Each structure stands twice: as structure tokens, then as C-alpha cells.
């Protein structure tokens, strides 16, 4: 063990190892390849892989690929990439439930031979009626007492494709009066005449999740099968299969509270709807709560892992405020993101007391507290850009209310001169299009001369050497804390201002030289990342990760 147990699951594992119950712990992460992983999966990844790391065990990646109708290779590739990006590595090659289809079929035959499974011809509607309710017991299927020989014959014919989809199913024979609905003769196999991405057309019957899951754990020697609390009621069924089948190991299931975050939906079905209806630009849209979406937005693996630690692992459910994730992101980027200057709404400033061919270069730290991030060069010429919001034509504004540039007064350009605003140039529509200003000589790196009081410090970019960029400002995708509450259609709570596209932004040259996925802190603007797909040095694209502080207002 590499560190002290920190949650109830770690305590269980620590106790099992101390008692010699296991020589090595084995966990697993078993996603369905029917969509991209989201923030809830990130928590589960951290739990399963993290416990294996903590106790010197191993964690398997196993794709629960029992529903070929919804599964795609794209999802498999994305899931593997997400896990590796988070900093985890599975044991050996990725595993697939489909690799065990032959063994699962043989074990289903074993249950039939033991009188513990039967082929049922009830339709789905009839089966639902026979199942009963939470307050009323179910009724036995009229096909429940078929002979072993008849069930073996029918199950073989199911496998051979002799029946249509929905014509029949193989069910376990347990207890239709059980208070646990999962124990009321659950389905083991359904007919699905779909080609499988791993097995092709070999099978036209596919095992249910409940049947395949525990047995796959047993085949792999999993010791601690960790899942979320919605599977707690499935644990008796998990144990029933382990008890009644000749499996090579006896894994135990444990549950912890799933991660629920406000202002977010994490249902794969709902996320897919956002993609399919074009509300977002794919699964990795930076507004999506998918791991790939958060990555594209500039969230780091360290921030997500820290967030997982902050949330903790327990059996107590609840909704986590998105602000906790924001805190983890800011904390990480504040420490690790190099600094840079970017002007998102440019206003040209002509420094009239400099010659037209003036050029000089200033040096600035890559990070105020990180010598290892080096220095960067800031070219400076007669024309620069400042942000339009850093100038106000009303010179009567008090210094307390407006600490930037007004006519006749001064500001310091970050890492450069103090300048004074002299003249405002407007177009025919009365809009400000340019400022004329003058530099105060000798003020680079020095205090202001007597009688000159700069209002504040503003950022800037050289007009001649600055780089044009497209900047995407992202906000929360939903404007209510619980977009999927009750029976409401979550689509009605979409935030119409979740994406703002800015063109014509100007950034300092050092940004264009950086690799995709490099993050920066832009002074007074927030944290931004170079887009991993669309950005090039010639066509720079930057995504806003998060502001320097929380300014989002709740909307109900």
C-alpha cells in the first residue's frame, strides 16, 4: 500500500489484505462503448484505478459490449484515450465481455441443466405484467416449468437464429415473489440480430448486463467489483449467479455514491441527443461534461483528479456544486499555466511621440512564481492594441471606480511604459476607432516621475507583431441547477449564451509558438487553451477554460 486508507472502500481492501483474503487486489472499469465518458465516469476511473495503484494491485479495462446496436469503435477509442489522458493505465490489453460469449453461453446451458433457467415466450409487455410491482408479487410465467430437454432445444434454436427478435428470451428461475424486483426471473439472453463490432455475425443472442457482469469479473479474477449505488439492488442477483455457476473466482460487489453535478446532465442518452440534434459540436464540444469535452476546454488531468479527491468516496449521495470543479481548475491553472497578454476586443492606440519605425522588445516572466517556465519577449512598436473596455471617454470617472485609461490621464502598460491618453478618434457614426497617446520616457521598469499618477496597469499587444486569433468564450450549457429534474425536457433549459465567438482578437507572439492544448492565463481575462484540433500557428483558435474568478449568476 502506498498511502493510508482514505475512504470506506480503501478500509475494506486494507482489511481484506491484512486478513490474507487476497494476495493482490484486482479492480476493473467496465464502460459500455455506446458513448463518450463523462465527469461521472472520471470519478469512477479515479476510484477503480486509484485503489489499484494505492494497494499495488491491478485494474482491468473491460468494455461491456453486450448491446451491438448502440456500440461503435469510435467510442472504444475515445474511452481508451480518456483513461490514458487522466494518467491511468489498465492491466494488459483491454478486455471485452464479448470475448467471454462462448463461456457465458456454456454457463447458461449449465443453469438450464440445473433447472435454474428456462426459455420464456412472453412478449415484453406480458413479461412486464407478470413481473408485478413494488407492492405486489409477480406471477410465474406459463413457460416456467418447461423441461430441461425442451429448454436446451429452444435455447440452441435461439442461438441458431430460428426465432425473431422478441419472440422469446432465456430467463433465470429464481423467485417471482421476491421483494427485490431484480430477482424476479431476470432475463439472461435476448435475441438481437445485429452484427457485433468484435464478433461479427457469430451471435444473434446477447447476454444481459446483470448476467454477464459478475461472470466476467470472475473470469478476470476481480476481487473488488466497485460500482455506483444504483446497482446496490442488483447485488443479490450478482451473488446468486456467482453461487450457482462453476466460476473460477468469487468477486464481491461494493457500491459508492455516483457523482452528480449541478447545471449538468450525464445521461449518455441525453448527451447523445445534444450531439445528434446539433446543439453542440460533437461529444468533445467544450461545453459538454464529457472527459474529452473538458479536455478540449482546457481542464487538466490534475484538476479532474484533484476534484475527485475533493468530492471524496462514500455511500452518501447528493449533488456536488459545479463551483467545486471550478475551484480545482483554477487552483491547478494558477500554479501551472504560463502568463500571456491577449486583447479580445482591440482598440488601436497610436503612440505619437515615437517614430513610425520604432521597435523595441521587453522581457517578461513566463510565470511570476515559476522560474522553470522561463521568459518571453514582448515586441513593442508605435502602434499597439489595448482592450476597448480599458478606455473610457468620461474623464470625470473617479480613480476608485475606473482604474484604467481616460483622456488626459495615465496608465502603465504591463511590463512597458506609462502612457497618457491625448486624443480620441471617432468614425462618422461617433464610434471610437483609435486613440492617440504618448509614452512617458524612462518609465520602463521605473516608478512614475513626480506629478504623474497612473490610474492602473492594463494589458496590451503590439499591433505590428501581435497574432490574430479566434477566441471562443464558453459558459455553462444549462441555465438551471437541475436541467433533468422530474419529467421536464432538459432541452428547455439550454443556456443561449453558452458560446460566444470572438474574431479579430490579438495575442502576443509567444502564444502562436505554443503547442495545441497549451494553457495560458490571459491578464484580467482568465484561462485559455489552444484548441487541440482546429488551431494552427497561421489560424490560432483559443478556448476559454474559466475566468479568474466566478462571475456566473444563477438563473432560474
Phi and psi at residue 244, to the nearest 5°:
-100, 5
Q: How many other β-carbons are positioned within 10 Å of the β-carbon of residue 127?
A: 18
Residue 373 contacts residue 335 (beta carbons within 8 Å): no
Measure the CA–CA gap between 317 and 139, rounded to whole angstroms.
34
Q: How many other β-carbons are positioned within 10 Å of the β-carbon of residue 479?
A: 19
- Catalytic annotation present for 32: yes
From the candidates 32, 331, 434, 534, give the one annotated as an active-site residue: 32
In SS3 terms, 443-471 reads as: CCCCCCCCCCCCCCEECEEECCCCEEEEE
Q: How far is CA 455 from the centre of its chain?
A: 42
Question: 352: helix, coil or strand?
Answer: coil
Measure the CA–CA gap between 278 and 280, rounded to whole angstroms.
5
E-strand spans in 281-417? 319-320, 339-340, 342-343, 346-351, 359-365, 375-381, 383-387, 410-413
Give first-to-last CA distance, the chain, whole Å.
47
Please give the C-alpha separations between residue 159 and each of 27, 119, 162, in angstroms, as whole numbers: 32, 12, 8
Q: Where are the alpha helices (DSSP H) in 55-100?
A: 73-85
**Exposure string (b/e) for 426-459, b if CB count within 10 Å is 16 or more?**
eeeeeeeeebebbbbeebbeeeeeeeeebbebbb
Helix-then-strand count for the chain, H and E: 13, 27
Write out the DSSP string of 511-541. HHTSPTT-EEEETTTEEEEE-TTT--SSSEE
From the candidates 28, 252, 268, 412, give the one annotated as an active-site residue: 268
Integer Rg of the chain from CA: 31
Give the DSSP H/E element, type plus range, for residue 442.
Answer: none
Of residues 269, 325, 272, the one with CA closest to residue 300? 325
What are the residue numbers of the active site? 32, 258, 268
Amino acid at each position: 500500500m502506498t498511502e493510508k486508507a482514505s475512504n470506506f472502500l480503501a478500509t475494506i481492501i486494507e482489511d481484506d489484505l491484512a486478513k490474507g483474503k487476497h494476495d493482490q487486489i484486482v479492480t476493473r472499469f467496465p464502460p459500455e462503448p455506446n458513448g463518450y465518458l463523462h465527469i461521472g465516469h472520471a470519478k469512477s476511473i479515479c476510484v477503480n484505478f486509484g485503489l489499484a495503484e494505492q494497494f499495488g494491485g491491478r485494474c482491468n479495462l473491460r468494455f461491456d459490449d453486450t448491446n451491438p446496436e448502440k456500440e461503435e469503435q469510435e467510442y472504444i477509442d475515445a474511452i481508451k484515450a480518456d483513461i490514458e489522458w487522466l494518467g491511468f493505465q489498465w492491466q494488459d490489453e483491454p478486455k471485452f465481455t464479448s470475448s467471454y460469449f462462448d463461456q457465458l453461453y456454456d454457463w447458461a446451458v449449465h443453469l438450464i441443466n440445473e433447472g435454474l433457467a428456462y426459455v420464456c415466450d412472453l412478449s415484453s409487455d406480458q413479461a412486464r405484467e407478470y413481473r408485478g410491482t413494488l407492492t405486489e408479487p409477480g406471477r410465474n410465467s406459463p413457460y416456467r416449468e418447461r423441461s430441461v430437454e425442451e429448454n436446451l432445444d429452444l435455447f440452441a434454436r435461439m442461438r441458431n437464429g430460428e426465432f425473431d427478435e422478441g419472440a422469446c428470451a432465456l430467463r433465470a428461475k429464481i423467485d417471482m415473489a421476491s421483494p427485490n424486483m431484480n430477482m424476479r426471473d431476470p432475463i439472461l439472453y435476448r435475441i438481437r440480430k445485429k452484427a457485433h463490432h468484435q464478433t461479427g455475425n457469430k451471435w444473434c443472442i446477447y447476454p444481459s448486463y446483470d448476467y454477464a457482469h459478475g461472470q466476467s469479473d470472475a473470469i478476470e479474477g476481480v476481487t473488488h467489483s466497485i460500482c455506483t449505488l444504483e446497482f446496490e439492488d442488483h447485488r443479490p442477483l450478482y451473488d446468486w449467479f456467482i453461487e450457482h455457476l462453476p466460476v473460477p473466482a468469487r468477486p464481491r460487489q461494493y457500491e459508492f455514491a455516483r457523482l452528480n453535478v449541478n447545471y449538468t446532465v450525464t445521461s449518455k442518452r441525453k448527451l447523445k441527443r445534444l450531439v445528434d440534434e446539433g446543439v453542440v459540436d460533437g461529444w468533445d464540444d467544450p461545453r459538454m461534461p464529457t472527459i474529452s469535452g473538458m479536455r478540449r476546454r482546457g481542464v487538466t488531468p490534475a484538476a479532474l483528479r484533484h476534484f475527485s479527491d475533493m468530492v471524496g468516496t462514500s455511500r452518501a449521495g447528493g449533488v456536488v456544486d459545479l463551483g467545486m470543479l471550478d475551484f480545482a481548475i483554477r487552483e491547478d491553472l494558477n500554479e501551472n499555466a504560463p502568463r500571456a497578454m491577449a486583447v479580445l476586443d482591440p482598440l488601436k492606440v497610436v503612440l505619437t511621440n515615437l517614430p513610425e519605425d520604432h521597435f523595441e522588445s521587453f522581457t517578461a516572466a513566463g510565470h511570476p512564481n515559476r522560474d522553470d517556465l522561463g521568459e518571453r519577449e514582448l515586441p513593442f512598436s508605435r502602434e499597439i492594441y489595448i482592450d476597448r473596455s480599458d478606455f473610457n471617454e468620461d474623464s470625470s470617472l473617479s480613480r476608485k471606480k475606473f482604474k484604467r485609461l481616460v483622456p488626459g490621464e495615465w496608465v502603465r502598460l504591463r511590463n512597458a511604459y506609462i502612457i497618457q491618453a491625448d486624443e480620441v478618434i471617432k468614425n462618422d457614426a461617433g464610434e471610437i476607432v483609435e486613440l492617440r497617446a504618448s509614452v512617458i520616457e524612462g518609465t520602463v521598469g521605473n516608478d512614475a516621475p513626480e506629478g504623474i499618477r497612473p490610474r492602473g496597469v492594463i494589458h496590451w499587444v503590439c499591433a505590428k507583431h501581435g497574432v490574430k486569433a479566434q477566441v471562443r468564450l464558453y459558459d455553462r450549457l444549462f441555465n438551471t441547477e437541475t436541467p433533468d429534474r422530474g419529467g421536464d425536457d432538459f432541452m428547455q433549459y439550454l443556456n443561449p449564451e453558452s458560446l460566444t465567438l470572438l474574431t479579430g482578437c490579438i495575442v502576443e507572439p509567444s502564444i502562436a509558438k505554443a503547442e495545441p492544448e497549451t494553457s495560458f492565463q490571459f491578464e484580467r481575462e482568465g484561462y485559455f487553451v489552444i484548441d487541440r484540433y482546429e488551431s494552427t500557428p497561421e489560424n490560432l483558435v483559443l478556448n476559454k477554460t474559466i475566468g479568474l474568478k466566478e462571475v456566473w449568476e444563477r438563473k432560474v
